[in-house]
Amino acid sequence: MNASNPLSTGPIPVDYIERVYAGVLGKIIGVYLGRPFEGWSYEKIRSEFGQIDYYVHERLGVPLIVSDDDISGTFTFLRALEDHGPTSDISSKQIGQTWLNYIIENKTILWWGGIGQSTEHTAFLNLKNGIDAPDSGSIETNGSTVAEQIGAQIFIDGWGLVAPGNPDLAVKLAGEAACVSHDGEAVYAALVIAAMVSMAFVEPDIDKLLDCATSYIPSESIVSTMIADIREWSSVDFDWRVTRQKLEELFGYHKFPGNCHVVPNHGVIILALLHGKGDFSESLRIANSCGWDTDCNSANVGCILGVRNGLVGFETGPDWRGPVADRLFLPTADGGRCITDAVRESYAVAAMGHKLTGSTLAGPKDGARFHFSLSGSVQGFVSEQLVESRGVVTRIFNTSEIEPDSRTLRADFRYLSSGRFARIKTATFASPEKLQMEGYGLQMCPTLYPGQTVHARVRVAANSAVELRLYLRQYNHLDTLTHLFAPSLTVENTEWNSLSWRVPEEGGYPIAEIGVEVSCDGRADGFIEIDTLDWSGAPDVTLARTEGGDVWQRAWVDAVDEFSVIGNSSTFQVIQNRDEIGLIAQGTSEWESYTATALITPWIVRRCGLIVGCRGLTRYFAFVFAKNEVQLIQCWDSEIVLGREPFVWNQDQCYQFNVTIFGNHIFCSMDGVELLNCIVDVGSSISGMVGYFVERGRITTEGIIITPFNVETESIEMEVIE
């Protein structure tokens, strides 16, 4: 680290959150642009497209919004700062623990190509087998070929985003993160990217960004030498293709072993930045037209230039933001955070950046989930494209025209009439087509459940009276989506309306979308404007096999060897064949003050039981059967037994597990008899998903009943567990 670098310090920029948002947008736009032809050669891209000017997913018959390791890894591994404290002293070991908490083996985030072939898979297995970072990713452990592939670079942008104008800090954090899985040249490349993202908040000159970034790596390294060469070539080459030819000759894939070596791809990033001269569209055009690992390279370029240029930088070319609509997926063991958007993730990143400086970033509009406070943001809202609503909404956009001090979401509509509806909605779970998406799979839970109360502040301006209401779309017995509507409100003026709706349970099917509908018996034109939309409270729902359909099973995070139904009954089984703990879980990290009840039958099992307050695979509380006793377990990266009670339980016998959490209190009952209770110190209220715990064995069950817990109506004596 070059601690004396004069550019390495400074206050958080006044436009920090907007620049973080631009960086996040640049990252995901880059992924979505480059993903459809990832791995194509330069020659094939030139033959098929000439050059990449805009999204080509439709031409290749693939979706635009996809799950991808570049996005999932970037915004998931950064949670080490949330889970272990926002400190500049975060260690590679702690970041490795974050990997183990959120990554579901063979299912999420990583390319599961096998040990010795996939660098990240190799590092994950090392972590799982007790080899802590940085040894998990070292050349000494894995060899130089495995250790110097591209992965550290593609996951690194977030560490620059949390250190605006402070490359010393960005490089320190990025170095710890990169060596969880990589070493050598791969780490050097990652440090360069992190430093450039950090400095882009305060320095627009590309050459100065490179001067700063390369000061943090050895001058004799291949990455440093290559950057110097590219800078020299770019200064005299009129055409970026000439520079690319030189890059391939001296630093191409044929020079470096492995599936996707970092050096050639890092060269593409530098080439695109220099020849693109800071223009977002031109730089992405170059990065993607060069071939090789297009989505990764495009994403790094997009993040750097997103931060450098701010939101205005997306306006120099085609409409990059419109088709994306802020949408992204983060499939992890924290299933309730899979369905998210660029605004939510930007605020999470910026909050960590503030905490690292000892300050705080308050969520706008009282922390509402959807608040549209950032310029151009739509937070996943799109118009409904069913027959009765298609074409009624003409555009959806972010505006501050009517409320200069507050941004809102506006949807213009026309030709509203009997049987024709203006509907705008956003996802709370995956649509049927997304459930079939190939590539990186989706492990997720719905974000909205029956029993929760939806709150919205909405107004409508129209040239006649209209009906306004909230609605949702949920799955049914055919695994298709059906509507469920809140009571309607007649609107005859442009005043703000506060809508509130307690979501009913209709068969326990996953809820996929939430939205706002306007209808009219006559004829109307106008607009819908949403200030905020949110929901609160614990759910009141039974998480069980639904009557018909299979989508209910996709609503569970699945980290066991087998999770399957038994015949045509309502019973399902959870099996873990190995000597390690397996979990299935559902819900969100916001759930608190609830009671979970489940009937569980153990079959040849070492330990099994009910999980509450779950935030991943290594962060949860569990009430379980162990040998001749019941245990209350707290797992917070490592397991401790908070309490135990003798209990002779039998295989093949059904038992009713009951666990309640409120605040930092937890109490457990078996077949209606309270056995364990305590107060725990976890720094905040216990909250999180519910689920099942199985260690080497099989259980059968019919689901978990979740009910809100109101401490004012209960009388429970608790004991403190030190």
Q: What is the mean pLDDT of residues 278-294?
A: 97
Does residue 357 sit within a domain?
no
Rounded CA-CA distance 494/488 in Å is 16
Residue 559 has pLDDT above 60, yes or no: yes
HSE toward the beta carbon, residue 538, CA cutoff 13 A: 25
Residue 9 has pLDDT above 60, yes or no: no
Distance of CA 615 to the CA centre of its chain: 13
Are 456 and 530 within one domain? yes
CA-closest candidate to residue 329, choices 311, 342, 312, 348: 342
Band of pLDDT at residue 548, cut at 50, 70 and 90: confident
Are 133 and 281 within one domain? yes
Chain-wide mean pLDDT for the chain? 94
Are 93 and 208 within one domain? yes
- Tokens at residue 561, please? 């060897």
Q: What is the mean pLDDT of residues 70-78?
A: 97
For 224-254, letters b (16+ CB in 10 Å) and e give bebbebbbebbeebeebbebbebbbeebbbe
Residue 116 has pLDDT above 90, yes or no: yes
Are 118 and 246 within one domain? yes
Are 183 and 280 within one domain? yes
Q: State the CATH number of the domain containing residue 703.
A: 2.60.120.560
Residue 720 has pLDDT above 90, yes or no: no
Are 532 and 595 within one domain? no
Does residue 543 sit within a domain?
no
517, 423 contact by CB (below 8 A): yes
Element spanning 187, H or E: helix 185-199
SS3 153: helix
- Tokens at residue 665, please? 């209190």
Residue 529 has pLDDT above 70, yes or no: yes
pTM of the model: 0.95
Rounded CA-CA distance 486/488 in Å is 6
CA-closest candidate to residue 600, choices 692, 687, 681, 662: 692
pLDDT at site 406 = 87
Residue 8 has pLDDT above 70, yes or no: no
Q: Of 295, 312, 329, which marks where a domain is finished?
A: 329
Are 429 and 286 within one domain? no
Are 406 and 286 within one domain? no
Does residue 541 sit within a domain?
no
Question: Which residue, chain included where needed, has tokens 């505006």?
Answer: 399
Q: Of 288, 303, 329, which marks where a domain is finished?
A: 329
Rounded CA-CA distance 551/58 in Å is 26
Rounded CA-CA distance 120/687 in Å is 30
137, 124 contact by CB (below 8 A): no
Q: State the CATH number of the domain containing residue 120.
A: 1.10.4080.10
DSSP 275-330: HHTT-HHHHHHHHHHT-SSHHHHHHHHHHHHHHHH-GGGGGSSS-SHHHHTTEEE-
- Cα angle for residues 311, 291, 48 (degrees, 5° grid): 100
> Residue 492: how many CB atoms within 10 A of its CB?
10
Q: State the CATH number of the domain containing residue 482.
A: 2.60.120.260
Question: Which residue, chain included where needed, has tokens 């997103």?
Answer: 306
Q: What is the mean pLDDT of residues 595-601?
A: 98
Are 608 and 474 within one domain? no
Are 86 and 156 within one domain? yes
Does residue 2 sit within a domain?
no
Does residue 303 sit within a domain?
yes
pLDDT digits (tens, 9 = 90+) for 687-714: 999 999 999 999 999 999 999 998 665 5
Are 203 and 324 within one domain? yes
Are 53 and 178 within one domain? yes
522, 356 contact by CB (below 8 A): no
Band of pLDDT at residue 718, cut at 50, 70 and 90: very low
Residue 215 has pLDDT above 70, yes or no: yes
SS3 404: coil
Does residue 473 sit within a domain?
yes
Band of pLDDT at residue 684, cut at 50, 70 and 90: confident
Rounded CA-CA distance 208/65 in Å is 34
199, 209 contact by CB (below 8 A): yes
Residue 7 has pLDDT above 70, yes or no: no
Q: What is the mean pLDDT of residues 485-513?
A: 95
pLDDT at site 656 = 98
Of 49-53, 75-79, 223-227, 544-548, where does mean pLDDT reach its minimum?
Answer: 544-548
SS3 585: strand
Does residue 365 sit within a domain?
no
Residue 47 has pLDDT above 60, yes or no: yes
Residue 4 has pLDDT above 60, yes or no: no
Band of pLDDT at residue 681, cut at 50, 70 and 90: confident
Rounded CA-CA distance 454/448 in Å is 9
pLDDT at site 439 = 73
Does residue 9 sit within a domain?
no
The dihedral of CA 408, 411, 417, 419: what is its sign? Answer: negative
Instruction: Please name the residues in contact with 641: beta carbons below 8 A apart, sequence gap of 6 or more.
Output: 631, 632, 633
Residues above pLDDT 70, as percent of the chain: 97
Element spanning 193, H or E: helix 185-199
Count structural domains, the chain.
3
pLDDT at site 77 = 97
Domain hosting 597: range is 556-713
